Structure 1
Amino acid sequence: MGLRPEELWSRFDWQHGNCFRCEQTGVPVAEIGDITVADVTFSLFACQRCVFRLEQLHWTMSERAVRRQSAFFPAGPPPSTQRPPEAQLPRPPAHVA
């Protein structure tokens, strides 16, 4: 289960600024990463609502990735390293000419 908003928000240092995602201005924002364009790096700041939404998206995408992976690799014993049953049957004798 994801974090409550207060728990998530306590992980960031907040200041007044502009949210890159919803474009609100003069709101509490936190630095959440950066982006580089034409070899110039800019810090990305998001408001509390957008930080929470990005956390929800991250959690949802992580859960989907786990489900996809488990669909390809179901839990259980690893595949057998033994030869298939038909390979274990005795071969008929070769015809002698």
Structure 2
Amino acid sequence: SETLSGVSIQVYMSKNVTVTVGKIVLWGNMVLAHKGTIVDNIRSERGCRTKFAVKVKDVRKFVENFKGGLHRVVVYGDYLEDLEDLAKLMGLRYVLEI
């Protein structure tokens, strides 16, 4: 939650750029992943400092397949195949959320 103590940075992400979102869930033996396009930065005092909206290819499928969980890693570019390879190397299940 936000403490207003000034110890966290806020990053404004570039818009109209493809991003890959991933999370390694060791207790679930899986790597979660999806990709989309950043459409806007969100300014709100609630939650994490850096927030942005991502447009996905099929929002209905995304909602059905989303495994939950916060604190994911976001990188510019399409790295879905790399995450799938990483999951195989680690012996984890690869879950494409969209």
Is TM-score (shorter-chain normalized) higher than 0.5? no
Which bin holds the TM-score, normalised by the shorter protein?
under 0.3
| Structure with greater Cα Rg | 1
Instruction: Identify, as 1 or 2, the structure richer in strand.
Output: 2
Greater relative contact order (CA < 8 Å, ≥ 6 in sequence) = 2
**Length-normalised TM-score, structure 2:** 0.22
- Flag the structure with higher helix content: 1
